[in-house]
Amino acid sequence: MAIKYLSKSSIKNKTVLLRVDVNVPIKNGKVGDEFRIDQILPTIRHLLKAGNKVIICGHLGRPKGKDISLSLKPAAELLANLLKFKFVETDHRLPDYGISHLIFYTGDIVDEKCQKQIQSVPAKDVVVLENLRFYEGEEKNDPVFAKKLSQLADVYVNDAFGVDHRNAASVSAVTKYLPSFCGLLVEQEIKGLDAVLKKPQHPFVLMMGGIKISDKVETIKHLGEKADKILLCGGIANLFYLSKGFEIGLSKVESAAVATARQLERNFKSKIILPIDVVVANENMDKSSIRVCAPYEVGKKEIILDAGPKTILIFAKELKIAKAIVWNGPLGRFEHKPFDMATMSLARVIGGVASRKAFAVVGGGETVNAVRLAHQAEHIDHVSTGGGAMLEYLAGKALPGIEALK
């Protein structure tokens, strides 16, 4: 069966259970990064405009039972502010206030009495349920819990691409009990990723950084067959240096994956480009200890913290001629200046190329943050809200959340 898209459907005057990705950083009781929440607003507004009552559900972190430090209250408060709705928190009584409210409901959603309270909310209001992972059945993809969720609504909409690689009750099992649709954000993710996955334009450049190669190896293998060049950086590059017998000092590396690096180099030797110079410093990252050297000149008490200036020029040259780009993972510890130079420089290069001729896809929390800090997000064709979900999709894997919509 084909996916039913919300954008092509006429859902009016219904109660909609909307699964979203609100797994966001919380700092001092406030949402630390609004990006993911900003991305779900179009779907919420689309549903409200058609007279639907919207019941929003999601998760935060990995709680062991009910853990108030992982409450969805900060996300609900931010949503209320962005929607310009009055915020109300309650675990029982849900009166009709006469004006639009966002109701953060903390009652037991599997309790029949609580379900009736939620169902009694008027259509002009939005309900946000408490963290679904407070319930054991969520992560177990429990059909009983999924059926309880389904009893709250007439229709289900999945707009949580960031969790679509998980088999969870609110992502997968719930679709067995309700007519189910793909939200505007997930539709955008599918279209954006398919553009580089199915028929990318050439030259096609894949740039992969970060620490762990184990999360990205299948993506590198799958896209590597289509890519013209594979630019490897960050901790992934360190692993390749280690596989060559280079000293990498105190640098972070997934050392158990050396064999993986050797296999990738055998498979894609003509495509892989590694940094030819690196920025290093001592363990404390003292300013006086910072220097640029070749990868084989790193001292035993030094840490590789960024790609060097020669590498920036080499990578930029490849990116500037590209017509398709996929980037996941920073080139160094960009959160600490001056080790942000390579990441920020190439974010600007990608933004510039994307604004003129290339189709660029960027994903992963740190990478998206870098692109936004460089003020390039508006130039990127597709900025993905998914980290693991994006990598699995680009590896050619079927995502349970999307498969469940078929």
Q: What pLDDT sits at residue 214?
A: 84
Q: Are strands 291-293 and 278-282 parallel, antiparallel or unpaired?
A: antiparallel
CA distance 155 to 180: 6
CA distance 138 to 173: 9
Nearest to 350 by CA among 378, 390, 310: 378
3-state secondary structure of 115: helix
Average pLDDT over residues 219-227: 95
User: Are residues 293 and 280 in contact, defined by beta-carbon separation less than 8 angstroms?
Assistant: yes
Q: Is the pLDDT of residue 298 over 90?
A: yes
Output the six-digit token pair for 139.
């992560």
Average pLDDT over residues 80-109: 84
327-to-41, 232, 324 alpha-carbon distances in Å: 25, 10, 10
Q: Is the pLDDT of residue 111 over 90?
A: no
3-state secondary structure of 44: helix
Q: What pLDDT sits at residue 139?
A: 96
Output the six-digit token pair for 218.
């299948």
Nearest to 53 by CA among 128, 108, 112: 128
CA distance 27 to 74: 9
Q: What pLDDT sits at residue 96?
A: 64
Average pLDDT over residues 222-231: 96
CA distance 111 to 107: 8
Q: What pLDDT sits at residue 97?
A: 65
Q: Is the pLDDT of residue 99 over 80?
A: no
Q: Which amino acid is at 117?
A: Q
- Each residue of 387-404: pLDDT tens digit? 899 999 999 999 999 999
- Each residue of 326-373: pLDDT tens digit? 999 999 999 999 999 999 999 999 999 999 999 999 998 899 999 999
Nearest to 293 by CA among 277, 273, 306: 277
Q: Is the pLDDT of residue 93 over 70?
A: no
Q: What pLDDT sits at residue 252?
A: 85
CA distance 117 to 92: 7
Q: Are strands 324-328 and 359-363 parallel, antiparallel or unpaired?
A: parallel
Band of pLDDT at residue 118, cut at 50, 70 and 90: confident
Please spell the DSSP secondary structure of 374-390, one letter per residue.
TT-GGGSSEE-S-SHHH
Look at 92 and 123; give whichever has higher pLDDT.
Answer: 123
User: Are residues 236 and 210 in contact, defined by beta-carbon separation less than 8 angstroms?
Assistant: yes
Q: At what angle do helices 184-197 and 35-49 cross, to 10 degrees?
A: 120
3-state secondary structure of 215: coil
Q: What pLDDT sits at residue 319?
A: 98
Q: What pLDDT sits at residue 308?
A: 97
Q: Is the pLDDT of residue 94 over 70?
A: no
% of the chain residues with pLDDT over 70: 99
Q: What pLDDT sits at residue 211?
A: 84
Band of pLDDT at residue 161, cut at 50, 70 and 90: very high
Average pLDDT over residues 6-19: 96
* Nearby residues of 131 by Cβ (< 8 Å), 6 or more positions away: 58, 59, 60, 61, 63, 70, 71, 72
Q: Which helix (DSSP H) or strand (DSSP E) does residue 262 occupy?
A: helix 258-267
User: Are residues 103 and 125 in contact, defined by beta-carbon separation less than 8 angstroms?
Assistant: yes
CA distance 171 to 157: 9
Kindly tell me the number of DSSP H helices and DSSP E strands found in the chain.
14, 18
Report the mean per-residue pLDDT for the chain: 94
Domains and CATH numbers, the chain: 6-187 (3.40.50.1260), 199-394 (3.40.50.1260)
